[in-house]
Amino acid sequence: MRKIIALLAAAAILLSLGGCSVKKEKTALVISGTDIGMEIYDYYYDLVGGRPGDYGLSDSPKEKDKKEAAIALCKRYIALNSSFVVHKLSLSATDKINISDKVNNHWMRFENHYDKIGVSKQTLYKIFTSEAYEDVIFSAMYDKGVNDKAQEKKIKQYFYSEYVAFRSVCVYFTGSDGRQEMTEAEKQQVMNDMNDIARETDETAESFISTCSAKGYTASDVVVIKRDSDGYPGGFFDSIYDQTDNSVKIIAYGDCVFAVQKANLEALGEGLYAGYRSVLIKDMYAEEWQNTLNSYIDTFTVDEKNV
């Protein structure tokens, strides 16, 4: 890690030496020798002010706290730019198109706001390009490619231990559409239906789908969720994880009941894994990446000029 940080520091110096322009913008900060213009600082300051909770601040943060959060984002901006340089990386044509689309979309929607706070379209390009750098840097550092058998084995082991796949039917005893709460008799009928589905389904997806349909319910498509995913009741993941593949389990809560058929993640094919692969790598290495980046950022000095 020390070697990486040393190389990143050298890249920051290169950035500071190459920062000349025809029109000199007023400097907000100097971060380890690199100027941060007022527009970049103002963009981040506005970002913090608009959503302070995203940056660990109260809904009505103090001026000092907003400034510190904006400076932290400026430091991250420098860290990503210099890291991109030291790794000798480049953006793909697709990356560049995505950046351009994002800039144009934001400018079309918020041009008046950006004009008001003094942020130009060119500054948006700088900001969004820096954001795009992070994914490229991360991939370069942690994705060894599909031909690296050792890493592929590790990623798949993580996938199969931290994710589950299933089809389900869920019935709420009280509806969000204004329905009244079911009577006890209606609830019991639903439970009877769920138990019938579990009993009558054989170990195929087709059987589960048709059995649900015969009872008047529509089975979902295959759903893949990660451990501790939001949107599901407590214990839901663990209950499915402990199921036998292709079996059907009834999982009841106070306000709803699920009939769940567990699917075998591996049997769903390489296409599913390929679709999740980049997400899995981020899951596995995000903490290490953030620690590396933060260690580098901790070496920065900040000279406040006009903030």
Query: How far, in Å, CA of 258 to CA of 191, rounded?
Result: 9
The residue with tokens 């599913």 is 272
As a dihedral over the C-alpha atoms of residue 289, residue 72, residue 69, residue 43, rounded to 10 degrees, the angle is: -110
What stretches in the chain show pLDDT beneath 70?
1-24, 175-179
Query: How far, in Å, CA of 258 to CA of 219, rounded?
Result: 11
pLDDT tens sequence across 158-183: 999 999 999 999 999 875 555 678 88
Query: How far, in Å, CA of 135 to CA of 95, rounded?
Result: 10
The residue with tokens 């950035």 is 15
Neighbours of 163 (CB within 10 A): 20
**Strand ranges of the sheet holding 27-31, from the earlier edge strand across to the other edge:** 34-37, 27-31, 302-304
> Which amino acid belongs to residue 98?
N
The token pair that represents 64 in the structure block: 């000092």
In 3-state terms, what secondary structure has residue 126? helix
CA dihedral over 278, 280, 281, 283, signed as positive or negative: positive
Closest CA relative to residue 166, chosen from 264, 239, 233: 264
The radius of gyration of the chain from alpha carbons, rounded to an integer in Å, stands at 26
Closest CA relative to residue 193, chosen from 247, 240, 259: 259
As a dihedral over the C-alpha atoms of residue 137, residue 142, residue 145, residue 146, rounded to 10 degrees, the angle is: -140
Query: How far, in Å, CA of 219 to CA of 298, rounded?
Result: 51
In 3-state terms, what secondary structure has residue 193? helix
Query: How far, in Å, CA of 287 to CA of 299, rounded?
Result: 19
For the structural domain made of 157-268, what CATH number should be given?
Answer: 3.10.50
**pLDDT score at 176:** 55
Domain boundaries, the chain: 2-142+278-304, 157-268
In 3-state terms, what secondary structure has residue 228? coil
Angle between helices 63-86 and 270-297 (to 10 degrees): 110
